[in-house]
Homo-oligomer: A and B are copies of this chain.
């Protein structure tokens, strides 16, 4: 059973301020909760249905597990769909990654679903680190975590002063613009930072001035733009084609 105080905490962790105050975030849904068994994250508690706890006894053996009905879990969940499991997890200390290898930088990408989808596609292509301006979506927002489909444990997201990070890096910075060299023709370096802006504002001037190569996804039809997560995935595929 989920106690009143536990329910209060679960609800509170839907809010960024409360996540920061408690140093905790929520991982919801079967796939995401099971992913915790393979991660280095510290799990405080797992609330789950008796069926889920029985089915994944081995995976969950290291965690404090609390049985709850699907009804209770649905009430406690900050997400729309039904949830067989909700975990309370400590927000880890993430060290600012060294600028090396292939990385993604995000400027003002404020939608948590987009951020989560970018984390997932980064993980698919083996990218370990994302650096993000401080006004990007919170990497620990439940919607972000949900959209990562388990990839949150394998990719770090560091919110930081993006322009100064780009300034201090010695890597080429590939900035995605509506005008630029076609990614079908760009010769990418083996290491570099892919910089993406938001759909509404693009890459802002403060970050844009550190772009070394303007790139674009060639358009063949009538759409004016692509979703930022989609564009990120397509460009990374073009990078990985050259440097797998």
A92 contacts the other chain (Cβ, under 8 Å)?
no
A149 contacts the other chain (Cβ, under 8 Å)?
yes
Query: Which residue, A117, A124, A149, A227, has most C-beta atoms of chain B within 10 A?
Result: A124
User: Which of B127, B154, B220 touches A126 (beta carbons < 8 Å)?
Assistant: B220
Residues 209-244 of chain A: 1 if any B CB is under 8 Å from the residue's CB, otherwise 0?
000000001111111111101100110011011001
Check B124 against A223 for contact (C-beta < 8 Å).
yes
What copy number does this chain have within its complex?
Answer: 2
Which chain B residues lie closer than 8 Å to A149 at the CB level? 223-225, 227
User: Which of B124, B125, B154, B222 touches A154 (beta carbons < 8 Å)?
Assistant: B222
Check B154 against A221 for contact (C-beta < 8 Å).
yes
In the bound complex, what is the Cα–Cα distance between A240 and B238 (angstroms)?
A: 12
Which chain B residues lie closer than 8 Å to A175 at the CB level? none
User: Which of B150, B224, B237 touches A223 (beta carbons < 8 Å)?
Assistant: B150
Chain A at the B interface: mostly helix, strand, loop or mixed?
Answer: loop
Check A224 against B150 for contact (C-beta < 8 Å).
yes
A123 contacts the other chain (Cβ, under 8 Å)?
yes
Check A244 against B220 for contact (C-beta < 8 Å).
yes
In the bound complex, what is the Cα–Cα distance between A184 and B242 (angstroms)?
A: 9
Check A240 against B226 for contact (C-beta < 8 Å).
no
Which chain B residues lie closer than 8 Å to A238 at the CB level? 237
A121 contacts the other chain (Cβ, under 8 Å)?
yes
A159 contacts the other chain (Cβ, under 8 Å)?
no
* In the complex, residue of chain B having the shortest beta-carbon distance to the beta carbon of A119: B223
Check A218 against B230 for contact (C-beta < 8 Å).
no
Check B244 against A218 for contact (C-beta < 8 Å).
yes
A143 contacts the other chain (Cβ, under 8 Å)?
no
User: Which of B150, B184, B240 touches A220 (beta carbons < 8 Å)?
Assistant: B240
Check B120 against A227 for contact (C-beta < 8 Å).
yes
29 contacts between A and B (CB under 8 A): A117-B227, A117-B230, A120-B226, A120-B227, A120-B230, A121-B226, A123-B221, A123-B222, A124-B217, A124-B219, A124-B220, A124-B226, A125-B220, A126-B221, A149-B224, A149-B225, A149-B227, A150-B224, A151-B222, A154-B221, A218-B244, A226-B233, A229-B230, A230-B230, A230-B233, A233-B233, A233-B234, A234-B234, A237-B238
